[in-house]
Structure 1
Amino acid sequence: MATDYDAPRKSEEELSEDSIQELQARRSDKSSGVVDEDETEAAEGFELPGADLSGEELSVRVLPRQADEFTCASCFLVHHRSQLAYEKNGQQICSECAA
């Protein structure tokens, strides 16, 4: 059952003064706190460490290097021309590797 910690707390005398009807209404309202969730659907999002994923296939669309991109000779990643730090002997180096 959810508890509102900001609500004023009742003293022992006030708790003992709760009516029987109010207590019975709280007892019959137990289902209001239950969350209806599909366990199998929730479990699909969890990855277990060491899980064997060798049977899984991924589909990724690979684009060729664009005219405004270059491949860094140090990290071999494709970067935008704005990240080119320098070019030496035909080898292009990105600003991250040059730092």
Structure 2
Amino acid sequence: MATDYDAPRKTEEEMSEDSLEELKSRRNDKNSGKVDEDEVEAAESFELPGADLSHEELTVRVLPRQANEFTCASCFLVKSTSQLAETRGNDKYCVDCV
């Protein structure tokens, strides 16, 4: 972009006035506050192939607690005992949470 170095420069006050005038003109514009909802409606009508999983069942096999595992009292993740940082009473904390 070309710059005209001979043009008079605006002061900060003039620049703030310009921006206020621009904001006022936007406020008077009827379409400036409208949200384009057509994109949202269009996205809801899309159906991806294989996206309907209503006929599927989820089966999860829960394993019992292993001897070398503990549940962190802070993040509630099951961690290996190699990540045990400290024990306070019955609560055990991993190295990430201490």
Structure 1 length as normaliser, TM-score? 0.43
Structure 2 length as normaliser, TM-score? 0.43
